[in-house]
């Protein structure tokens, strides 16, 4: 009798742990989906993605999973400076 009770107790605990884990996973998925929809609607980047990209930006090159080192673009390596033409814009002048 005690073995059956022990088995039933283990089964109840296992099922409750599985339900709790599924609930937490569902909550996380809904939170990510809502966050992505808000980011899409407002035009801002998704906050966790920004934090991850910021971490990657300041990490050492050897820490990257691909092991690749960032190479500077050929345009940046050439040392050329791109200048823009300056235009004066008249603001608030009366048209007479």
Torsion of CA 80, 81, 82, 88, to 10 degrees: -160
Who wins on pLDDT, 68 or 35? Answer: 35
Q: Tell me how far apart the alpha carbons of residues 44 and 36 are, in angstroms, rounded to a whole number.
A: 10
Going by pLDDT thresholds of 50, 70 and 90, the confidence category of residue 48 is confident
Q: What is the pLDDT of residue 18?
A: 97
Locate tokens 């500077």: which residue?
Answer: 72
């Amino acid at each position: 009798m005690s073995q059956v009770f022990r088995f039933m107790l283990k089964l109840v605990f296992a099922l409750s742990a599985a339900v709790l884990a599924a609930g937490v996973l569902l909550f996380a998925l809904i939170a990510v989906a809502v966050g992505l929809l808000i980011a899409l609607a407002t035009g801002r980047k998704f906050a966790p993605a920004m934090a991850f990209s910021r971490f990657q930006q300041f990490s050492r090159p050897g820490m990257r999973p691909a092991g690749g080192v960032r190479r500077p673009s050929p345009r940046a390596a050439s040392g050329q400076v791109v200048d823009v033409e300056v235009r004066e814009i008249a603001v608030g002048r009366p048209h007479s």
